[in-house]
Amino acid sequence: MSTLFYETDMMTSHKAMQTIPGKTRLVVIGNGMAGIRTLEEFLKMSPHDFEITVFGAEPQPNYNRILLSPVLSGEMAFQDTVLNDWDWYEKNHITLHAGKRVSRIDRHRRVVESEDGLSVPYDRLLIATGSNPIMLQIPGIDLPGVLAYRSIDDVEKMLAASRTAKRAVVVGGGLLGLEAANGLSRQGMEVSVVHLCDWPMERQLDQAGGNLLKSALEKRGLKFYLSRQTEAILGENIGGEDKVTGLRFKGGEEIPADLVIMAAGIRPNIALAKSAGIHCDRGIVVNDTMQTFDPKIYSVGECVQHRGQTYGLVAPLFEQARVAANHLAEYGRMRYEGSSVSTKLKVTGIDLFSAGDFNPAPDDEELLFQDAARGVYKKLVLRNNRLRGAVLYGDTVDGTWYFQMMRDGTDVTELRDHLLFGQGHLGDAGRGGVANVANMPDSAEICGCNGVCKGAIVKAIIEKKLFTLEEVRLHTKASSSCGSCTGLVEALLINTVGGDYSAKPSKKPICACTELSHEEVRDAIGRLRLKNIPDLMRLLEWKKPDGCHICRPALNYYLLTANPAEYRDDSRSRFINERVHANIQKDGTYSVIPRIWGGVTTPAELRSIAEIAERHEVPTVHITGGQRIGLFGITRENLPRMWAELADAGFVSGHAYGKALRTVKTCVGREWCRFGTQDSTGLGIKVEKMTWGSWTPHKFKIAVSGCPRNCAEATIKDLGVVCVDSGYEIHVGGNGGIKVRVTDFLCKVASEEEVLEYCGAFMQLYREEALYMERTAPWIERAGLAEIKQRIVDDAPGRAGLYARFLESQRYSQDDPWRERALGKDAHEFEALATIA
Amino acid sequence: MNWIQVGKLEDIPRQGSRVVNTPRGEIAMFRSVDDRVFALDNRCPHKGGPLSQGIVHGKRVTCPLHNWVIELETGNAAPPDAGCAQRHEVRVTHGVLFLENRIED
Ligand code: SRM
Ligand SMILES: Cc1cc2nc3c(=O)[nH]c(=O)nc-3n(C[C@H](O)[C@H](O)[C@H](O)COP(=O)(O)OP(=O)(O)OC[C@H]3O[C@@H](n4cnc5c(N)ncnc54)[C@H](O)[C@@H]3O)c2cc1C
Ligand code: SF4
Ligand code: FES
């Protein structure tokens, strides 16, 4: 019977269907942010034949709802908010039914029907119907002049009203309400905000932060009616037309109004799904693959309830979109595991950020910072030394930093003292201590490496429709070099689009070639006993046959540390500096820096360097910051000859430019210095002889100072030894580069032998557990000093094991790469294939 | 077209590159993992980096200086970067490499 029905129905709506046989039919209900984001992700995976149809109740193409606030305040035109214009649908062969609302889902026949009688069959269905604004059920709610704030249609009505009406009242002092109020006030209206609670944005701010916000907004002309419950909207009939005239609160108080905006919250839009018998609670219930109770039907966005949670910000919806797309495209790999969210009020000139749970429970700790004069307020909530929540007002540059630590569950014990002062306080070169990006002029330089100013970044975010840090990096190059301006760029992103989209999910894939994270890959190498890159890529289902420049060097490193004896290094997966053991320079020539053990040299060595430099007409000889002599401007063809000569003069080097041991800096120590307590120079040389040649996740620098005056700057090195009268202090995790980080004190030992053992053990732990391209400083902050102390200091057998593994792997890495190449290894790297006259 | 023999396929390592010197500057010849050969001017459209020194992956090379990714087939920079390295025709016959000779035109 039902088959017959189906056919009849097919025939009646024949025109709209044009089904192409053999294609999987995907229908999307909802042309909003989550639904279309899912399609974008879906198209990126270039799945096999799909026929895609989209229904959208709104007549516009897909636009950025978040930017309605700047449209309302007059800072942006609607056209600038369009994310995908009509062409996009056409180019991707998507049939768009804009302005058509779906009124029925027939799950039995797998057909959706629109209000105006269109019916389209599906094999897969995606419901992304968003949410509806809550319209309080009070007298007067249906009066003209009472509007919601959800769509461009609402905004246009508000703008039209603002031209004639004078007084606006916004019901609801949350994020949306305040943005509406600000916008209308910028349009010249007198605006009041009515709110149930004692302070605005109580879901994002504690009372102190809320009060600061309230007075800032009052200074801009907004009026607040707090702790008021609206009982009725008043109106009268003037000249045959109903009009709003005011509001009445519980208790009888009345205020005048010509326009009323309802911003009292949103409710997941589930009516359609519910009527189709799909299991709903507060939202449409989905599992970790974004699948509803009907396996053919997926759902994403504000209409969804996942693990009991509904979301009202785009960052989590975009994560959902990636997962849903992955399953719709039948990759079936990813899972959505819920999100934590941060918020930012998009009112120009007001800097506010909040994330997590900022109302401390009885056992939580609260860190507070208040500077009334500067209008800065910060509150951090800690539980068991981990961040649970943050409220920032007036200075929000560190918002993303806190948020990241919150999501990572970072132990902040070691950071506590300066946590409130932010990451800048930890020493960040090139950032100039700016705090308030909102007030920076457009011409302010944000990225010092690439010379990108604020205006250019904001423009790119808007014009190119960027949502994530990665996208901003790609398009503007800001924050893509040394990374010290990342916090500022993230703050600009948040300021412009109003939320944290950098959504570094707790699990971050190595690169676009895989879904797997560094940890998972390293784990698989051990578990599956992977021995080379091609096998690894095959077994772990790499998306590109030979990966890319990001994953290959990482894989090569992980394989090498896992099997030092057997692994055959893949030079094709090494960056040029490591492939030819010299540092490439801006003009394509190389710098050559021979190893000077512990920074100690001899007249004979100096003489040979001088002669070689002269013979090769080296343009620049520079005393480096690492106690060596650098020869700059050597051509590729010349490298092997030069190395042959250096090797003959007794120099070893090669790893001087890699992710490897760099230098061991020393001071003159006990032998000459009147304060020296131990033989720092001799010890430095021993350490360098033991560690040279070792590959590490990122470069590794060591220094040994003869006394606490610390002339070798040991406390900003990856590992530093400070000699004292009674022995040797070992310090770890320092960095003197982009972000200065002083080392943490690891322990004190009594003998040189112990220094060597602890040093080897620490390096091995770093080699085995840090992620590729992660220096010791961020690694220690991630892993926690306590854990590292436990493994190196407390656990003696563990330490001995690490040390033994370090020495074992050194057996295979201490051959002089320069000599090898001088003798002809990899000659193809240096010689031209042919010369055409 | 005028072809010049420049060497053998095996002279270029897989996922690697070798340079041919010409009076008009260096040409980089690349060999992909599946043994296809491409030739581009050895100058990155960004700031002139030597593309021959980059990491070769798929039909792309990543410039060693600032990581622009260049398509080997066309010489185009992968978006959002924009720019193009001059490409040259290559022929591989029985493992012998021939490069298009533009010197005389
Ligand atoms: C040669 C030298 C400058 C000099 O002439 O004095 C140098 C030169 C370069 N440094 Fe450095 N650094 C040199 C000492 C330092 C020091 C001082 C030190 O080692 O005591 C530091 C700060 C200490 C530290 O690393 O913690 C330093 C922090 C950096 C950084 C930032 C690292 C960080 O984690 O923040 C980079 C960028 C990177 O590695 O990503 C960098 C990167 C570079 C590169 C390799 C940039 C590049 O990728 O091409 C430079 C190569 C120049 C060239 O054309 O060959 N260089 N660099 C120094 C070599 C020392 C040596 O003998 O090996
Ligand atoms: C003014 C404003 C400011 C905001 N600011 C921020 C911010 O700063 N940061 C942030 O993260 N989030 C912000 N948000 C929230 C963000 O916009 C939403 O979380 C996001 O748009 C939700 O995406 P969605 O796809 O689930 O719903 P929507 O984007 O609402 O899309 C749902 C679409 O489905 C359509 N639809 C519904 N039912 C049907 C049907 N039966 N048939 C056909 N079509 C249907 C609707 O018309 C709508 O177009 C803001 C929202 C508003 C309104
Ligand atoms: S040598 Fe170091 S500090 Fe100097 S320009 Fe290069 S990377 Fe920057
Ligand atoms: S020169 Fe090639 S990326 Fe800059």
Shortest CA distance to A343 belongs to which of A204, A217, A437?
A204
Residue A485 CA to residue A507 CA, distance in Å, equals 23
Q: How far is CA A315 from CA A298, A654, A759, in A?
A: 19, 45, 43
Reduced DSSP (H G I as helix, E B as strand, rest coil) percent helix, strand, coil of chain B, to 5: 5, 45, 50
Chain A residues within an 8 Å CB radius of B26: 832
Task: Name, in order, each residue with C-beta under 8 angstroms of A295's C-beta and a sequence gap of 6 or more.
Answer: none
pLDDT over 60 at A16, yes or no: no
Q: CA-to-CA distance for A147 and A153, rounded, in angstroms?
A: 10
- Residue A700 confidence (pLDDT): 97
Mean per-residue pLDDT, A691-710: 96
Percent of chain A with pLDDT over 90: 62
Q: What pLDDT does residue A302 have? A: 97
pLDDT given for residue A318 in this prediction: 87
* Closest ligand relative to A66 C-alpha: 2
Q: Kindly tell me if the per-residue pLDDT of A423 is higher than 70.
A: no
Q: Which residues of B touch A449 (CB under 8 A)?
A: none
Chain A, window 354-373: residues with a beta carbon less than 8 angstroms from a chain B beta carbon: none
pLDDT tops 90 at residue A314: no
* pLDDT score, position A66: 87
The yes/no answer to whether this complex scores an ipTM above 0.90 is no
Confidence category of residue A433, pLDDT binned at 50, 70, 90: very low
- CA dist A109 to A25, A104, A439, Å? 13, 12, 57
What tens digit of pLDDT does each residue of B40-94 get? 999 999 999 999 999 999 999 999 999 999 999 999 999 888 999 999 999 999 9
Q: What is the pLDDT of residue A424?
A: 59
Q: Are strands A284-286 and A304-306 parallel, antiparallel or unpaired?
A: parallel
The pLDDT of residue A55: 97
For every residue of A449-468, which 3-state class applies, written as one string? Answer: CCCEEHHHHHHHHHHCCCCC
B66 lines ligand 4 (CB under 6 A): yes
Is residue A727 within 8 A of residue A704, CB to CB? The reply is no
Residue B65 gets which letter from DSSP?
T
With 0.95 as the threshold, say if the pTM is over it.
Answer: no
- In this prediction, residue A6 carries a pLDDT of 33
A836, pLDDT greater than 50 = yes
CB contacts under 8 A, B 39-58 vs A, are 47-50, 53-58
Question: In terms of DSSP bridges, do strands A124-127 and A452-453 run parallel, antiparallel, or are they unpaired?
Answer: unpaired
What is residue B19's three-state secondary structure? strand
Tokens coding A219: 């200074």
* pLDDT confidence bin for A469, thresholds 50/70/90: confident
Decide if pLDDT at A7 tops 50. no
Mean pLDDT of A775-792: 91
Report the run of H or E that residue B17 belongs to, with start and end. strand B16-22
Give the three-state DSSP class for B11.
helix
Mean pLDDT throughout A111-118? 95
Residue where the block lists tokens 């609160």: A249
What is the pLDDT at residue A401?
Answer: 78
CB of A636 sitting under 6 A from ligand 2: no
Q: Give me the phi and psi of B26, to 5 degrees please.
A: -80, 140
pLDDT surpassing 80 at residue A525: yes
Residue with the larger pLDDT of the pair A350 and A229: A229
Q: How far is the CA of A553 from the centre of ligand 4 (A)?
A: 19
Q: Does A450 score more than 80 pLDDT? A: no
CB nearest B19 (choices: A464, A833, A837): A833
Percent share of chain A, pLDDT over 70: 93
Q: Are strands A124-127 and A297-299 parallel, antiparallel or unpaired?
A: parallel
Judge whether residue A567 has pLDDT over 80: yes
Q: Is the pLDDT of residue A429 over 50?
A: no
**Cα end-to-end distance, chain A, whole Å:** 83
Q: What is the mean pLDDT of residues A777-790?
A: 90
Report the pLDDT value the prediction gives residue A804, as an integer from 0 to 100: 97
Mean pLDDT across chain A: 89
CB contact under 8 A, A832 and B19: yes
Which residues of chain A make contact with B64, given a CB cutoff of 8 A? 575-576, 584
Homologous superfamily of domain range B3-100: Rieske [2Fe-2S] iron-sulphur domain (2.102.10.10)
Contacts of B102 (CB under 8 A, 6+ apart): B24, B88
